[in-house]
Amino acid sequence: MWFYLAVLLGLYFLRRWYRERQTVENLREKYVFITGCDSGFGNKLARQLDALGLRVLAACFTQEGAEELERLSSDRLKTTILDVSSKESVVAATEWVKGIVRSKGLWGLVNNAGIGSPIAPTEWLTKDDFANVINVNMLGLVDVTLHMLPLVRAARGRVVNVASMAGRLAFFGGGYCPSKFAVEAFSDSLRRELLPFGVQVSIIEPGAFANPIAKKAEESLKTTWNRVPSDIKETYGQKYFEYYCKMLEGLTKVASKDLYLVTDCMEHALTSRYPRSRYAAGWDAKLFYIPLSYMPTLVIDCVLAGSAPKPAQAM
């Protein structure tokens, strides 16, 4: 019995391996729009797809980022300035894309733009702290998607949304984890809604990577602590603040610098004839975070918070 089961599993994975290596035809004629291309995953993906010959439309937050990306890329790659949290900016970028792709439509939409800070215990933050992150990571993603969907449908193309392992496990306080949980839910419903139109939606779930979000986390925590009211500081204590700093510092130290582990997943989602609905990017995502997310709550709490000191005034 076990022999036949092993044979069936082997055939399943062999078929999957074969299907996933079938690529889409005429890639050099296809347009892909990517948000958040100043640095990190977006910047690397833009250059990676440009090297493959795709027609990349890269949206950067700053003019400096756009000029640097153009300098490192071919003449095929075009840039525009986009603030995903601004309705006017999203509308302008949509019109820019329409003027370029015309009747061909948009083969790929990659919602990569995102911010992480401030990251801190919830009671140290304000409503605006949460809103600023959610406006970019979730509502900005939704706004860009709603404006670009007619172009993607016209090409029967792909939507690739960047979530995170923090969309499965909430590691810390702040708007980052809630926004990534929301991206997961939005992408799941969108995938089912767009299947009849021949549009496929993929979610990228990176583990810990050395991107700009990770680099700013510790600095943002210190800024947040400095503005916390004195009574809240007394409640938590200096020791708790130092623990949180060390936790973020530790995450930064173990973060992978191999961004291609993420951008290769994005590339596959855009170029494979049979893309996956979810991509776990990084060995920590596959071997630690995903298995942990299926564990009982007691186990998850012990792993993620078991070493944390008690706040100064905790019972």
Phi, psi values for residue 292, rounded to 5°:
-60, -35
State percent of the chain over pLDDT 90: 75
User: Which residue(s) pair with 81 in the sheet?
Assistant: 60
**pLDDT at residue 21, rounded to an integer:** 74
Span 290-308, pLDDT tens digits = 999 999 999 999 998 877 7
Cβ atoms within 10 Å of 221's Cβ, excluding its own: 24
Predicted TM-score of the model (pTM) = 0.92
- Which CA distances in Å does 140 have to 67, 114, 159, 161, 175? 23, 9, 15, 12, 14
Strands (E), 85-173: 108-111, 158-162
The 10 Å Cβ neighbour count of residue 303 is 13
Helix 87-101 to helix 141-155 angle, to the nearest 10 degrees? 20
Q: Regarding beta strands 108-111 and 158-162, do their DSSP bridges make them parallel or antiparallel, or are they unpaired?
A: parallel
Digit-coded pLDDT (tens) for 122-131: 999 999 999 9
pLDDT of residue 250: 79
- Give the integer Cα–Cα distance in Å for 258 and 202: 21
- For residue 132, the model assigns a pLDDT of 96
Backbone angles phi, psi at 309, to 5 degrees: -70, 155
What is the pLDDT confidence band of residue 271, given thresholds at 50, 70 and 90?
Answer: very high
Which residues are catalytically annotated? 176
252 falls in which pLDDT band (50, 70, 90)? confident
Mean pLDDT score of the chain, rounded to an integer?
A: 92
Provide the angle, in degrees to the nearest 10, between the axes of the packed helices 63-71 and 40-52. 30
pLDDT tens digit string along 94-133? 999 999 999 999 999 999 999 988 999 999 999 999 999 9
The Cα 216–Cα 260 span in angstroms is 21
Structure tokens at 82: 């986009």
Q: In degrees rounded to 5, what are phi and psi of residue 80?
A: -145, 165
Type of residue numbered 128 = D
| Higher per-residue confidence, 297 vs 246 | 297
Distance CA 228, CA 146 (A): 38
23-209+257-285 folds as Rossmann fold (3.40.50)
Least confident of 10-24, 66-80, 143-157: 10-24
Instruction: Please provide residue 93's backbone torsions phi and psi, each rounded to the nearest 5 degrees.
Output: -65, -35
Predicted pLDDT of residue 307: 73
Task: Tell me how far CA of residue 266 lies from CA of 33, 42, 161, 162, 299, in angstroms.
Answer: 12, 10, 9, 9, 32
pLDDT in tens, 192-243: 999 999 999 999 999 988 776 666 777 788 889 999 999 999 999 999 898 8
Helix (H, G, I), strand (E, B) or coil at 145: helix
